[in-house]
Chain A
Amino acid sequence: AQKVTQAQTEISVVEKEDVTLDCVYETRDTTYYLFWYKQPPSGELVFLIRRNSFDEQNEISGRYSWNFQKSTSSFNFTITASQVVDSAVYFCALSEEYGGSQGNLIFGKGTKLSVKP
Chain B
Amino acid sequence: AAGVIQSPRHLIKEKRETATLKCYPIPRHDTVYWYQQGPGQDPQFLISFYEKMQSDKGSIPDRFSAQQFSDYHSELNMSSLELGDSALYFCASSPFSGGHEQFFGPGTRLTVL
Query: Which residues in A have some Cβ–Cβ distance to B below 8 Å?
Result: 31-33, 35, 37, 43-47, 50, 52, 91, 95-97, 101-110
Contact = CB atoms under 8 A, between A and B. Distances in A.
Given A103-B56, A104-B48, A107-B42, A47 B104 contact: yes
Nearest to A94: B99
Interface of B: 31, 33, 35, 41-45, 48, 55-56, 58, 88, 90, 92, 94, 97-104, 106-107, 109
Given A32-B99, A95-B98, A104-B58, A45 B42 contact: no
Nearest to A35: B101
A102 B33 CA distance: 11
A108 B42 contact: yes
A31 to B, nearest CB: 8
Given A103-B55, A103-B98, A109 B42 contact: yes
6 contacts: A45-B92, A50-B101, A91-B43, A102-B56, A103-B94, A104-B56
A106 B33 CA distance: 12
A92 to B, nearest CB: 10
Contacts of A91: 42-43
Contact of B99 (A43, A47, A97, A110): A97
A1 to B, nearest CB: 14
Which of B58, B92, B97, B104 counts the most chain A CB atoms within 10 A? B104
A36 to B, nearest CB: 11
B81 to A, nearest CB: 21
Given A47-B104, A91-B42, A101-B56, 6 more contacts: A45-B107, A50-B101, A52-B99, A102-B48, A102-B56, A106-B45
